[in-house]
Structure 1
């Protein structure tokens, strides 16, 4: 059940993706002599996006029915379709996506779905296709307020598809910082931070199209030069050993089950293992992103303190003539 607008997006975006991916492979492997693509990783990305598309297509009837029912109950008069309508929809949809993405990172139940997208240790255009396969089962819930405000369901879905193209294109190391665009839009630099497993970068830059939400709600982090912080490391804080599709899709669910059903836990601890932040542990055996950031700050502070102390030590002056 694709609208005409979505069909046109799919028709024109597919060959465009093939072209830019080919260019990126050529530049990284030939010109820069780096191997940012592997056959297994790329094949995995494509398979995951096909699985996501299948679930999305199969569940679309339900999601569109829900959005349609809400739209019919909207107390707002029909928008006059024009520039202001599409601009308002773009901003509203991107705002809704920000919160979808943020909860995917901050609530372990949803992180178990989204973790698949972050599981690659490579960062290229095809990484954008490494989809959160089961996200279509609940994504539409975040768009219900948009339907209530009078935006047509098909237009909401179209706008999501359109901004998702931008969200795919920012998965690249080939583009540096983009000047004033960095202040408003999500750029490759912003999204490299988002995919990094360095403590300082964890759970930052959640936007798809506009970076203003991250700056307003305190989840923004600029990409820092290597001499100031550290090189970016992509993937998870603990990467999977010998990953396959089943493990990529279900490893976090399996771990949630083990954690939540362990003996001698309180009800609150079991709840936190399911709906608390990823990395929560009742005994401190694992760390959340905030805890890892705090530990890194202490560590870096100790190193800087040691360096400052060394610089302040009196120098031995030779008395030999």
Structure 2
């Protein structure tokens, strides 16, 4: 978003419009409506972030058609500003236009009808739009579909595609963090942060001509975790599974067991508040790879997110647990979910 959104506009069910586009390969994102219309069927990762503050309270949802797939929340104190980030991995995301099909008025009518139903006659989830909205779930049947229609007709004429070579390519991936605190006399304006502790730094990894199986998962906790359970070294159990390609995530234990070796991205988010203090760790087997922290005030409920890029071996356990610094509830409800997701990138 190129400008702040005033409170009289950021009302419930308002679709956030990210109007300043830096990357749009495939022309699926529409900056006039804030809607991403899927150009090709597949598995997608959606990450969104919003910032509020000064006693503001907002939940933002990632919607696929009329269904909520993810939600984040931030309830701030006076003179406090918080950034909240969410991540969703969605499967069976279906293109709005079949391969080699040009958009037509008939197709646009079918697109409009598809917004009213999550399933097509074959029973496959028909997902065409994904976008974050404000506050509690809304109903896209009341949305002005003609705006989506006219935008789609305009944009498809300029469709571009990034071709991936069939021959062997390369993967570039890194993950690093700062090994110590940065004092205030150093953390001055325009200071470049130096992430000196490198955990992953793949400069060139050949991709086999026959790619391995796709692995991706996304799950969240279906209920709040009370303070007497959210004690130090408690493994968080993400029991509500939305995506589990490869069946690596185990909702009964909260552990992802890698079905294949490779480079993976893991993103987790947790929500606490009302004076609670929590640090959560991303563990690979018995080793900590990532850590996030949130120390809240009374009536303040922020969301904390972490990301790790790691090469894991087949059979490795990946999970999220609380650390030594943990007290208070961990929340996962209609305001914001505590979630865990990951996907294999090679």
TM-score by length of 2: 0.24
- Greater percentage in strand: 2
Query: Which structure would you say has the larger Rg?
Result: 1
Structure number with higher helix proportion = 1
- TM-score, normalised to structure 1, is 0.25
